[in-house]
Chain A
């Protein structure tokens, strides 16, 4: 029988198990630090809480939750291929009998699914700790308003898309940088974003020369601020020209659903094409 050289669920499970056991100390330490950090945060929140406040709402923590979730996702995704930082570890990685796809998917599972589970568990423990302190020592109620936790534009689906997006950016970056990957990828990401912004400013100033409200009155892929005809030097009227819907919708679709898988695919091929010198 021809062996499956591309994907075998049992082999990927073996690989996933190997990765977790190989790094169990790092994972345990990371999980412990995260739980301890969340409990510490709960304690700080308890100490610094307004003494006259009678109720605390969980939904108030949403911005902090999102920031920490995305930061933790970025950290774990940037560590995905740190074994490629040394030739001997790279040899171990590439010569282990599993396909590139299985190895890549295993890293994706660890850096995304495991991160979401561990992070939410740690946050849950931190919140329970805060809730216990607040109800027992300050006599206040903590409202577990999970239904309001992901409001309006931040539905669970969108949050997951954001996590996947950050994961794909840092996972792709991890195929380039193996040591101190997080700051390097973050810096490069900022540079690329600034580059896109600068390119956009260049184009909009060229296209709307003399009509643009100010040199930086534009946002890439979305809007340009243009001076309306009839404006005078003392009284300037400007209008924001948004991309038309027929273009905006595909752009939004690409940003939401295509960019992330495209980055994952490129990361996969970069790993498959890597040589050890």
Chain B
């Protein structure tokens, strides 16, 4: 689905942002793209969407080079950006003017999604709050049924119930031929949603594993006390005790803690690499 080969890119010639970056993402998965501020997540998403062009290397989506922004490519991808634009028109006018560009747009699905988020179809876009606008855009993006859906900080501005609905809708719309890439800082919002994790740091992909592989090889626990004999990779102390990431020696199953994993990968990269290689 997404094929990035030897990507080189820089905003300024003296400061390369991506240097020989390679990444392949396949259909049928929901990828979580995690990284610190300025790690290059949004730039990578823009490269995938064809909004930025590689200095060298290749970025292909569905077999097409994204930099050409061909209509056949654009009608099969949808980007929900962090900051987005909606014209000052009604929902009905928005659908009438934009749905025609997406051959697989399904109006019934769109109305169902709106109902889930409790947004009346008759409401004007200008009368909506930021959160409502975001929910509206997510509904439209899902109803377009594009094979690639990219979301940059989709849960920003959503209230707590809406975040659960968001997770439910995203999980429900995934199919074998679709790929969803979600970039976020709010890692807890992606719990139980993503099935693959991509961590980007210092403009490099430093971790790319399926959630299943992660829980096979790592164990996430809360311990009352830390014991030096335990194979702890990363620990975070809180009021409940110590949240730890350890080698999964006993092959026991635990629920992934995305935030803990992210911190573990960033702070103890070598140990993590040894475990996964």
Binding site for B on A (CB under 8 A): 3-5, 8, 11, 14, 17-18, 21-25, 83, 86-92, 94-100, 102, 275-277
Contact = CB atoms under 8 A, between A and B. Distances in A.
B interface, size bucket? 20 to 34
B75 interface: yes
A96 B53 CA distance: 17
B151 interface: no
Interface of B: 11, 46, 49-53, 68-72, 74-75, 77-79, 81, 83-85, 87-89, 93, 96-98, 100-102
A24 B96 CA distance: 14
B84 A3 contact: no
A3 B72 contact: yes
A17 B97 contact: yes
The secondary structure that dominates the A interface is helix
B101 A87 contact: no
A97 B75 contact: yes
Given A94-B69, A276-B46, A88 B81 contact: yes
Contacts of B96: 21
Contacts of B46: 276
Contact of B52 (A8, A98, A276): A276
A178 to B, nearest CB: 14
A5 B65 CA distance: 13
Contacts of A92: 84-85
Given A89-B85, A94-B69, A96-B101, 15 more contacts: A3-B72, A14-B100, A18-B98, A21-B93, A22-B97, A23-B87, A91-B49, A92-B85, A94-B50, A95-B69, A97-B71, A97-B102, A98-B74, A275-B52, A276-B51
6 contacts: A21-B97, A87-B83, A95-B69, A97-B74, A99-B71, A100-B69
B27 to A, nearest CB: 20
Most buried by A among B52, B78, B84, B85: B85
Contacts, number: 77
B84 A91 contact: yes
Contacts of B100: 14
Contact of B79 (A18, A22, A91, A275): A91
Sorted nearest first, the 9 A-B pairs with minimum C-beta distance are A97-B74, A97-B75, A5-B70, A18-B97, A3-B72, A22-B87, A276-B51, A88-B85, A97-B101
A94 B49 CA distance: 10
A86 B85 contact: yes
A225 to B, nearest CB: 49
A83 B88 CA distance: 14
Contacts of B93: 21
B68 to A, nearest CB: 8
A195 B50 CA distance: 38
A134 B155 CA distance: 65
A83 B100 CA distance: 21
A86 B89 CA distance: 19
B17 to A, nearest CB: 11
Contacts of B68: 5
A161 B66 CA distance: 37
Most buried by A among B77, B88, B96, B101: B101
A98 B85 contact: no
B97 A275 contact: no
Contacts of A11: 71, 101
A132 to B, nearest CB: 37
A91 B85 CA distance: 8
B33 to A, nearest CB: 17
B101 A275 contact: no
Contacts of B102: 97
Nearest to A99: B71
Nearest to A13: B100
B145 to A, nearest CB: 13
Contacts of A83: 85
Given A88-B84, A277-B11, A95 B74 contact: yes
A277 B45 CA distance: 11
A145 to B, nearest CB: 44
Contacts of B81: 88, 91
Nearest to B78: A95
Contacts of A18: 97-98
A8 B83 CA distance: 30
Nearest to A83: B85
A5 B72 contact: yes
Contacts of B74: 95-98
Contacts of A97: 71, 74-75, 101-102
A76 B50 CA distance: 29
